[in-house]
Amino acid sequence: VAKRLVCSSCRKSYAVREPRWRCQCGSLLDLEFLPRFDLLKIEDRPPSIWRYREALPIEEDGNIVSFGEGFTPLQRLTVAGKEVLFKLDYLFPSGSFKDRGAALLVSKLKEWGIRQVVEDSSGNAGSSIATYCARAGIECRIFVPRSTSAAKCSQILACGAQLHRVDGSREDTEQAALAAAEDTFYASHVWNPFFLQGTRTFAFEVCEQLGWRAPGTLAAAVGNGSLLLGAYIGFQELMQARIIDRIPRLVAVQAQACAPLVHAFDKGTSDIPPIQKQETLAEGIAVAAPRRGRQILEAVRRTGGCFIAVTEAEIQESLMEMGSGGFYIEPTSAAAAAGVKKFLLHHTPPGPVVSTLTGHGLKAPPRQFAP
């Protein structure tokens, strides 16, 4: 089956050979291709995302940009009296799960022969793209809102990227990057379907770690939904390949201060209502208008899942709780843990219940512990 990029709106399709991050009509593109899974080969390879090589759409091995990342531990914890398996995705080279997507996207950039890119992010996607571009020798410019954590900004600069701090919102930051993308390539983790191709590996790893079984439930923090959507696509592919026999129920967690998808889900619409965004500790999911909002809502609805909003107090409490157990994570990750707890207090979903700790604590050290 030939790989192709297909428009999510007008259905126009493109060969993957030409670099492209959106359709001529301006809409999002999705990648279509048929992945292969040879379980014996997979289990024989080093523990990284690249063990799923036949399912990762990079043509030439020589174009792979990698640090040997992935296959993060799955750790058991008791939450609200119930067992939850947390995937420790803060243990990636740049300190967040975004490396799953960046590894694939930057490998594709290299394959396309692209030498310069721009990207915008609340911090972690920028750090991750900067990390992989440094490894690939691709020049990059990263746009972040002025409010982005100092540690994430330092990380971007340390990787040799140009940093542009934008006065204004996350949405203003996207506009600034789009303007800069006029004369270079836009390596957007939100727009580019190759980023989503990388986050699929979350599903592959979890199923393999469970003995090639699917979890009953997956709970994750959602901003632009790249982890949730990628995982959903990955589970579907494993199901089509008859490796697993169910798709987990998806529980998507947002910060109440910025919860556009929660509002759309509660209203039963597929359009995302405009929201008045408030400050939140969970900067990594503070996305007022997620580009792939419709796709996220559809994925959650199809699995019989739901959306959960967590308050700032719940995020803070969860951050302290996880930290005192030795899980040093950033507040955005604590939002997921808080959501799982809130959900399990009122529901007994199908198990195993899997969640994920997405970002390292060193990215946004808690102020109350400043020495």
Q: Which residues bind ligand PLP (CB under 6 A)?
A: 96, 98, 124, 221-227, 284-285, 330, 332-333, 358-359
Q: Which of 3, 10, 246, 278 binds Zn ion (CB under 5 A)?
A: 10
CA distance 141 to 176: 11
Residue 96's Cβ-count burial label (10 Å; 0-12, 13-18, 19+) is buried
Euclidean distance between CA atoms 202 and 199, whole angstroms: 6
Of 37 and 310, CB closest to ligand PLP: 310
Q: Is 7 in the site for Zn ion (CB under 5 A)?
A: yes
C-alpha torsion sign, points 188, 294, 166, 121: negative
Q: How far is the CB of 284 from ligand PLP (least distance, A)?
A: 3
Asked if residue 5 binds Zn ion (CB under 5 A), the reply is no
CA 144 to chain centre: 17
Dihedral sign from CA coordinates of 306, 303, 8, 336:
positive
Which lies closer to ligand PLP via its Cβ, residue 79 or residue 129?
A: 129
Q: How far is the CB of 262 from ligand PLP (least distance, A)?
A: 13
Helix (H, G, I), strand (E, B) or coil at 258: strand
Name the residue nearer to ligand PLP (CB basis): 293 or 352. Answer: 293
27 interacts with Zn ion by CB under 5 A: yes
Q: Of ligand PLP, Zn ion, none, which one does residue 188 interact with (CB within 5 to 8 Å by kind)?
A: none
285 binds, among ligand PLP, Zn ion, none (CB under 5 to 8 A by kind): ligand PLP
Q: Which range in 26-34, 266-274, 351-359, 363-371 contacts Zn ion by CB under 5 A?
A: 26-34
Shortest Å distance, C-beta 172 to ligand PLP: 18
Q: Is 13 a binder of Zn ion (CB under 5 A)?
A: no
- Residue 105 in contact with residue 369, Cβ under 8 Å? no
HSE-up (13 A, CA, CB side) for residue 159: 28
Q: Which is nearer to ligand PLP, 127 or 217 (CB)?
A: 127
Residue nearest to ligand PLP (CB): 359
By the rule CB under 5 A, 209 interacts with Zn ion = no
Residue 27 binding target from Zn ion, ligand PLP, none, CB below 5 to 8 Å by type: Zn ion
Exposed (0-12), middle (13-18) or buried (19+): which is 62, by Cβ within 10 Å?
A: exposed
DSSP codes, 203-254:
HHHHHHHTTS---SEEEEE-SS-HHHHHHHHHHHHHHHTTS-S--PEEEEEE
Q: Kindly state the smallest distance separating residue 18's Cβ from ligand PLP, in Å.
A: 26
Q: Which is nearer to ligand PLP, 213 or 366 (CB)?
A: 366
Amino acid letter, residue 51: R
Q: Which is nearer to ligand PLP, 223 or 349 (CB)?
A: 223
Distance CA(371)–CA(270), nearest Å, equals 47
Taking CB under 5 A as the binding criterion, the range among 12-20, 197-205, 256-264, 345-353 that sits at the site for Zn ion is 12-20
φ, ψ of residue 163 to 5 degrees: the values are -110, 130
8 binds Zn ion (CB under 5 A): no
Q: Are 205 and 72 in contact (CB under 8 A)?
A: yes
**Interface residue list for Zn ion (CB under 5 A):** 7, 9-10, 12, 23, 25, 27
